[in-house]
Amino acid sequence: MDSEELTKAYVIFPHLSNLPDGAFIVDKDSGKGTIAEHTARYFRNARVIAMDISLLLYRR
């Protein structure tokens, strides 16, 4: 993931600030899971699930 994608994610995060504790956030087609990892760090009270169909990426 490049820095431009990460910047876009951090622009979106504040708009989701009203999530209740324990909310589920699903990162579909997450690839290596970088966005999911940063999402989990930003939303510490949420449950972040990363999913990808690629078995090769899943094994990493």
1-58: pLDDT as tens digits: 568 877 888 888 888 888 899 999 999 888 888 888 999 999 999 999 998 887 666 5
- CA-CA distance, 39 to 49, in Å (whole number)? 10
The pLDDT, as a whole number, for residue 13 is 87
Domain limits at 48? 3-59
Which H or E run contains 12?
A: helix 3-12
- How many structural domains are present in the chain? 1
The pLDDT, as a whole number, for residue 25 is 93
The pLDDT, as a whole number, for residue 54 is 76
| pTM recorded for the entire structure | 0.74
Helix axes 34-42, 3-12, angle to 10 degrees: 40
How do strand 47-51 and strand 24-28 relate by DSSP bridges? parallel
